[in-house]
Amino acid sequence: MGVMLRRSFPPGITSLSILAAGILALALLPLGVLVVHAVVSDWPRWENNGLTGLLPTLSNTLVLVVGVATGTLVLGTLLAWLVTHFEFPMRRWFDRLLFLPLAVPGFIMGFVYVALFEYAGPVQTTLRSWFGWERGDYFFPDIATPFGLILVLTLVLYPYVYLLARAAFLEQASSTYEAAYTMGYSRLQATFRLGLPLALPQILTGLLLVVFETITDYGTVSYFSYPTLSERIIVSWNSSFDPTTAVQLSLLMMGIALFLLAVESRMRARARFYQSARAGRRLNRVELRGAGRWLAVGFCALILLAAFVLPVSQLVIWAISEIRQPTVGVLQETFLAYTANSFVLAAVAAGLILVLAMLLAYGSRAAASQRSWIRRLTSVGYAVPGAVVAVGVLVVVNPIDAPITDFFTDHLSWNGAAYLLTGTTLALMYGYLVRFLGVGYKSAESSLEQISPSIDSAAKLSGAGAWRIIWRIHAPLVRTGLAVGMILVFVDVMKELPATLLLRPFGMDTLALRTYFLSVEGWHRTAAIPALTIVLIGLLPVLILMRVGEPSFGSRRGRSSRTGDEVV
């Protein structure tokens, strides 16, 4: 059979490469159809409806992106500089614990902060109780403002910049700074003149990830009543029943996402100019003394408190209160159903995506020259908002749904739901595939890169076919990397809000949707239990990230008693 296949296809083309092309085409189909549909749609109607309020929406999106990008750039880079360049108490713990806000979705952080600091919240209520104040006797900043939204998203997203800035600083050799010292530069001057320029490509890549997350956010901006492009797409489709405007806004969002992907690709191309720490000794940390060390401790502790400890602690308090005195019975059968829906959807989607990603990655090995393009194309779905992906899937399945349903009804006596695709789990899974295939592909590709081509050659000489090589040789070798990728996809699906909102079957809610609906209705205590469940699940990839390459985390091994420097 293997010989027949090789004779049937042109040289260099195999059944796996054809299968990989089919998987990639399937993932890109909704976005491609969306472009075509937007181009041929009713543009005069767009001028009447779509342009109404577009400028304020674009302005809101730009203000939000600039504000969050500025905040995360300053906060993430400063924290990374502190933990990599200086030695102070609890530095090793802060070095890892500052990852934790990655586990808290923005819409959960948003409703916790609003509930805590609003006029009727516990903070202002306690202040009035202590000091006997009445309304108007004191000033307290309103958290439910654009500034509050920027603050919340900054606290949630700064780890993207922190992670990459930290990695860039750790890669820099000590000789770079020693040369600067001989020229009379201080540590701060050396950082600005040498350290930051060398780390800039990675820092900007992290910043682009922040921008992606900001423009694709729906739950947080919706909760703060701050209309952005992503929020308006869902309103146009789901509330205003104006699919044409939703499709055309989606095309605009796709253009922005593709532009950002091109910028990110260019930055990745510049990564080869990074200085590698292998060129010399790792950077020696300076031990802070006096007030400086406690300022560093206080700053790191303040950020960790605001971005993780405070919201999670409040969720725990609300959850305990809800368990003791239930308000709307969140722990009854309905909550178990939402939990089961979330776990089943996430598990099935993660398994499906990882299998297809593995086949795509294996099929692309034969086309090494095209691998960079495949990587970029699979990233498109993750770069565009979930609302855009959902609209693209609906544009694909809606026209073909009626004929397929009629066929099953006429020829197979189908008496099931009104449609086989629209508003079904199948369409929802398709949306997850388009949205998160890039996450699975990167995990599969990085795992396969660890396998030497000589192993494949030896297996082929022994008469093993491509599928046997995958199952008997590759699968055991890449299972750890695939397990990590599966966890990442699982958590992303658990937190996905806009795509699930538009594509889910009628009446099927998830933990993310339940949390969002309850928080919007003001049931903060009740929303705490599903929100806390999402946060705990989101900790899985963060904990893996904290442990990678750090077997001595939390111990005192590697610490020099004389200099305070560590072996990282």
Please, what's the b/e burial string for 92-107 (b: 16 or more CB within 10 A of its CB; e: otherwise)? bebbbbbbbbbbbbbb
| Same domain for 531 and 481 | no
Predicted model pTM? 0.79
For the chain, how far is it from start to end, CA to CA, in angstroms? 52
Q: Cα–Cα distances in Å, from 520 out to 143, 219, 486?
A: 15, 10, 31
At 559 the pLDDT is: 39
The answer as to whether 397 is a domain residue is yes
Query: CATH code at 400?
Result: 1.10.3720.10
At 153 the pLDDT is: 94
At 500 the pLDDT is: 87
| Same domain for 439 and 301 | no
At 279 the pLDDT is: 47
| Same domain for 285 and 355 | no
Paired tokens of 357: 């990603």
- Among 503, 68, 139, 83, which residue's Cα sits nearest to residue 288? 83
- Among 420, 542, 430, which residue's Cα sits nearest to residue 493? 430
| Same domain for 387 and 503 | yes
The answer as to whether 98 is a domain residue is yes
The CA-based diameter of the chain, rounded to the nearest angstrom, is 88
| Same domain for 36 and 72 | no
| Same domain for 340 and 355 | yes
| DSSP state string for 48-91 | IIITTTHHHHHHHHHHHHHHHHHHHHHHHHHHHHHHHHEE-TTH
The answer as to whether 266 is a domain residue is no
| Same domain for 321 and 332 | no
CA distance 333 to 519: 20
The answer as to whether 518 is a domain residue is no
Residues 159-190: tens digit of each pLDDT: 988 988 888 777 766 666 666 666 666 666 66
The answer as to whether 562 is a domain residue is no
The answer as to whether 200 is a domain residue is yes
Give 126's contacts (C-beta < 8 A, 6+ positions apart).
Answer: none
At 561 the pLDDT is: 36
Residues 500-532: tens digit of each pLDDT: 888 888 778 888 888 888 888 778 888 888 888
| Same domain for 542 and 460 | no
Low-confidence ranges of the chain (pLDDT < 50): 1-12, 271-279, 549-568
The answer as to whether 7 is a domain residue is no
At 134 the pLDDT is: 78
| Same domain for 40 and 76 | no
Give the structural domain span for 445: 14-52+327-509
Query: Structural domain tally of the chain?
Result: 2
Query: CATH code at 82?
Result: 1.10.3720
The answer as to whether 189 is a domain residue is yes
At 157 the pLDDT is: 92
At 313 the pLDDT is: 92
| Same domain for 91 and 218 | yes
In which element (H, E) is residue 338 found?
Answer: helix 333-363
| Same domain for 90 and 140 | yes
CA atoms within 13 A of residue 334's CA, in its CB half-sphere = 10
Q: What does DSSP assign to residue 307?
A: I
| Same domain for 320 and 334 | no
Q: Cα–Cα distances in Å, from 355 out to 138, 231, 432, 486?
A: 59, 32, 14, 10
Q: Are 431 and 389 in contact (CB under 8 A)?
A: yes
